[in-house]
Amino acid sequence: MKANQPCQVFQQQTGCARNHCRRRIFHTMNVTQMHERLRLELLRRIQRGTLSVSLLARQSGFGEPHLCNFLHGRRQLSLQAMDRILASQHMSAADLLPVLRPPGLLLDSEDESSVPVVSHAAALFDPHIRLSAVQWMMPVRSRELQSYRSRVSFSRRGWQRFVAVAIAAADALPMEPLLLPNALVLIDRHYTSFMAYNSERPNLYAVRNGAHLTVRYADFTAGRLLLRPHNLGYPVELIEVEPDESPSDLLAGRITRIVNEF
């Protein structure tokens, strides 16, 4: 198979948990694109500390020099080698595909779009949302998504922009009554600036607090990230910013919409 030849790698039924609809999505991706997505995903896992070259070598059976050449873009893998590495990481070819908008969610008009609802870890750490990470799709008007202004750091420009997450009851309490238990929040991951989006109200952010996603008002002062709750019965939190980190690295993105009942 040639590198730029389309590879039909995924065809499945995708369900929408909220309206019980099922629609078929067909994806095509060429081998070069799959190869690059696999390389970037492995590098992301290494950077997060969940994988190392030596561990990958043990899991896949390839030598470390061979893997280093692949990870540094100095050589490519055969399809059989890609299959071995995918299997060693408990991934499938479908996990390398970007999330596309299912056409079945165009329920009312051509202005209807959708955003993937994902885990907190995926919202914080995954530049590209894999299909296997999507819990369901949240309908959103296209014109709403297009209306949001971005202010993003260079390192985040390539990230998939919009995701949504559910907020558990314990995490919602400090933000009540603005945020209710089990609410959905829509996150713009291309707004990682502390500059006020609207002069009349403070920005609300999804923030990385350790390995946890927290919804708070946030400011940066005296080398610390200041997290303020909406419910004054809860304390203000301070997060130390590591010397090798930018304060904006701790922001998953700006909360653009809260859906308390759905």
Residues 59, 125, single domain; the answer is: no
Q: Say how far apart CA 30 and CA 41 lie, in whole Å.
A: 17
Does residue 1 fall inside a structural domain? no
Residues 181, 250, single domain; the answer is: yes
Q: What pLDDT score does 184 carry? A: 94
Query: Given the structure tokens 């500390």, which residue do they identify?
Result: 49
CATH code of the domain in which 15 resides: 1.10.260.40
Q: What is the per-residue pLDDT across 178-200, written as a single tens digit (0 to 9) for each?
A: 999 999 999 999 999 999 999 88
The C-alpha angle 120, 82, 133, rounded to 5 degrees, equals 15
Residue 49 gets the label, from left (phi > 0), alpha (psi -120 to 50) or beta, of left
Those residues whose C-beta lies under 8 Å from the C-beta of residue 231, and which sit 6 or more positions away, are 173, 174, 175, 176, 177
Q: What is the per-residue pLDDT across 58-100, written as a single tens digit (0 to 9) for each?
A: 999 999 999 999 998 888 888 889 889 988 887 777 777 665 4
Residues 85, 140, single domain; the answer is: no
Burial of 31-42, coded b for 16+ CB within 10 Å and e otherwise, reads bebbbebbbebb
CATH code of the domain in which 204 resides: 2.10.109.10
Residues 143, 212, single domain; the answer is: yes
Q: Domain of 74?
A: 6-96
Does residue 82 fall inside a structural domain? yes
Query: Would you place residue 24 in the very low, low, confident or very high pLDDT band (cuts 50, 70, 90)?
Result: very low
Bigger pLDDT: 42 vs 29: 42
Residues 91, 150, single domain; the answer is: no
- Counting every residue, how long is the chain? 262
Residues 159, 206, single domain; the answer is: yes
Does residue 193 fall inside a structural domain? yes
Q: What is the per-residue pLDDT across 119-173, written as a single tens digit (0 to 9) for each?
A: 999 999 998 888 778 888 898 888 899 899 999 888 888 888 999 999 999 899 9
Q: What is the per-residue pLDDT across 1-10, written as a single tens digit (0 to 9) for each?
A: 444 444 433 3
Query: Would you place residue 18 in the very low, low, confident or very high pLDDT band (cuts 50, 70, 90)?
Result: very low
